[in-house]
């Protein structure tokens, strides 16, 4: 069976997202364990490690959100699906996806402005060595990807939720 270009791109995206999450998580575990060992055994640690761990948490969170959005496995509280007639659920689902896409695009835009301000101010992290914009760039990228995915979901023909309170 031959895969379409879209299917191959989707598969590549999954591999890249999963590999990045695994890499960031493994780096976090190793760095946190090293920091604990250095503090407990030698009475000191790496000065930049705590900041690096916070940055890795940000990256892991955003990558996880993108991966969850990819498969529609995000946290969803959809009270409307319990109360609207079954025939309206598809439209309500599309409207909710459009709203989420709009919110993600707005967050992406303001994240982009934040990163641009950081670049203009020449903000630095990790002891002044790394430009802050390089680690903050995950924000507009992730929100842009999330917005794109919700927009695509909105434009696709959605199946209505299975029953009252079913997540979509």
pLDDT (average), residues 119-148: 94
**In 12-160, which ranges are E strands?**
124-125, 130-131
Question: What residues are paired with 124 via a beta bridge?
Answer: 131
- Concatenating the DSSP letter of every residue in 125-138 gives ETTTTEEHHHHHTH
Model confidence at 164: pLDDT above 80:
no
How do 130-131 and 124-125 pair as beta strands?
Answer: antiparallel
Domain contains 55? yes
Query: How does the average pLDDT of the chain come out, rounded?
Result: 86
pLDDT (average), residues 140-145: 95
For residue 76, what pLDDT is reported? 64
Lowest-pLDDT range, 69-73, 75-79, 130-134?
75-79
For residue 158, what pLDDT is reported? 53
Place of tokens 């490690």: 49
Domain contains 164? no
Q: What angle, rounded to 10 degrees, do the helices at 89-121 and 138-155 form? A: 160
Domain contains 165? no
Domain contains 69? yes
> pLDDT higher for 126 or 72?
126
pLDDT (average), residues 135-157: 90
Place of tokens 């031959």: 2
- The percent of residues above 90 in pLDDT, for the chain, comes to 49
Q: What angle, rounded to 10 degrees, do the helices at 49-70 and 138-155 form? A: 10
Number of domains in the chain: 1
Domain contains 99? yes
Domain contains 161? no
For residue 168, what pLDDT is reported? 47
Domain contains 163? no
For residue 125, what pLDDT is reported? 93
The vertex-75 CA angle with 93 and 52, nearest 5°, equals 135
- Find all residues with CB under 8 Å of 69, minimum gap 6, and list them: 145, 146, 149, 150
- Concatenating the DSSP letter of every residue in 51-86 gives HHHHHHHHHHHHHHHHHHHHTT-S----THHHHS-G
| Residue 139 lies in domain | 5-155
Lowest-pLDDT range, 8-12, 102-106, 148-152?
8-12
Contact 131, 122 (CB under 8 A): yes
Domain contains 46? yes
Chain centroid, CA 18 distance in Å = 12
Name the band, by pLDDT with cuts 50, 70 and 90, for residue 31. Answer: very high
Model confidence at 73: pLDDT above 90:
no
């Amino acid at each position: 069976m031959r895969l379409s270009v879209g299917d191959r791109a989707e598969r590549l995206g999954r591999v890249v997202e999963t590999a990045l999450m695994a890499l960031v998580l493994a780096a976090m575990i190793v760095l946190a364990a090293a920091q604990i060992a250095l503090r407990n055994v030698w009475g000191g640690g790496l000065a930049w490690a705590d900041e690096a761990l916070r940055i890795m948490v940000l990256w892991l969170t955003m990558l996880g959100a993108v991966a969850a959005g990819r498969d529609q496995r995000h946290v969803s509280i959809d009270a409307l699906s319990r109360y609207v007639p079954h025939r309206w659920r598809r439209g309500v689902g599309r409207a909710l996806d459009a709203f989420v896409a709009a919110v993600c695009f707005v967050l992406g835009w303001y994240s982009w402005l934040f990163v641009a301000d950081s670049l203009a101010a020449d903000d630095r992290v990790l002891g002044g060595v790394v430009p802050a914009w390089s680690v903050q760039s995950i924000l507009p990228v992730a929100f842009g990807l999330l917005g794109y995915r919700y927009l695509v979901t909105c434009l696709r023909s959605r199946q209505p939720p299975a029953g009252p309170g079913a997540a979509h």
